[in-house]
Amino acid sequence: MLGNWARDKYQFFWKFSIPAPVIGGFGFAIIMLILRETNLMVFEFDDTLYDLFMYIFFVTIGLTTGLNLLKKGGKLLLLYVLVCWLLVIVQNSVGVGVALLTETSPLTGIMAGYASLQGGHGMAGSLSPVVESLGENNALTVGMAAATYGLIAGALIGGPVGNWLIKKNNLKIETDTMESNYMEELSQEIKDDKKDKLTSQHLFVSGAIIFIILAIGMPTAEWITNITGFSVPGHIFSLFLGIFFRSVNDKKQIVKMSDKSMDMISTISLNMFLVMAMMKLKIWELYDLAIPLTIILIIQTIVTVLIAMFIMFKLMGRNYDAAILASGFIGHGLGATPNGLVVMDAVCKKYGVFSKKAFLIIPVAGTVLTDVVGVPVFLFVANLFA
């Protein structure tokens, strides 16, 4: 609640799209740092509710998407997602590679890659327990520090790069529309969403589906881990179980699902587990990691900008929409999806032309489709360097 108040009151926070739980939780973490350094008090946290909200959030990600999203978005969405998947591999590789060169744990390096940059604070908070279970105690602190850096860096760099691409290539300030069939489907979905009312019954059904999936996914993931020796977190497995159920349910209509109630549960669970993650930050653990982490993040920034300029911009068509998408890609690639939207909004407002194509592609690709490959790749690399 304090984070929401600060975000509304101070322009800096909403300008860089910093989530309210991050503001409030980080403020608490600073107080904990002061109490520790002055030998007054040290807190220990119970993770029961933190874990529960994290598990619920991950299942809601799966249940709010289906495998038909790529087909709906057409060729450009597929190309954008492919570049995001490339960035997943690059960011994980840079994190691990620089960590090894600076004689830092590669598990620390991977937390300064995809999970915290493209994934943002939410993904960093939810994947850090995996890394900590593999032997890296400061994973959460590194992840949150990297995610905070990414938010600010992406917001500061994305706009100028988009503006530079437009000026350098003398682009016409005009925008294309997405394929007509996609626009019709989207329009129908918006109409259906307005009809979708939030009721206690909808919340009850959504909650039941979530807990049934967790009841199946958690023990199944544990069984897979025991059989293979490859660490498969239950909440990650449950996410993909949710995607599978949603894809089947869209075709078979097994149960009527309310996206509005699922979004409500998702938002509350994300805010709760994220503020708890920030409160648990042990900022003092960053003292010895300051230089290696700084090097990793600077290189991550350079690589992301280069991919946006020389790959994303060209693949998207080298036009105004492509420049907007490239700028949004930097915001998304360094600071998660909402940051990408903030960056694109700033560039579009400057030129007075709104790119519908960009604002349709990045939310769909960034919120779910990137993680479909990003999470398994992260788990593979983490297990590799455990």
Structure tokens at 332: 């998304």
> Would you state the pLDDT for residue 69?
57
* Per-residue pLDDT tens over the stretch 237-283: 898 899 889 888 888 888 988 888 998 998 899 889 888 888 888 88
| Nearest alpha carbon to residue 145 among 103, 102, 108 | 108
Start-end of H helices in 289-369 = 290-307, 313-315, 320-351, 356-364
> Would you state the pLDDT for residue 358?
87
The one-letter amino acid code at 45 reads F
| Nearest alpha carbon to residue 333 among 360, 309, 353 | 309
Separation of alpha carbons 116 and 72, rounded Å: 28
| pTM, rounded to two decimals | 0.80
Positions in the chain short of pLDDT 50:
183, 187
Separation of alpha carbons 253 and 311, rounded Å: 40
> Would you state the pLDDT for residue 98?
96
> Would you state the pLDDT for residue 243?
84
> Would you state the pLDDT for residue 195?
64
| Nearest alpha carbon to residue 152 among 338, 335, 340, 347 | 335
- Report helix, strand or coil for 386: coil
Separation of alpha carbons 52 and 85, rounded Å: 29
| Nearest alpha carbon to residue 146 among 86, 89, 95, 101 | 95
Which helix (H) or strand (E) element contains residue 371? helix 370-384
> Would you state the pLDDT for residue 75?
82
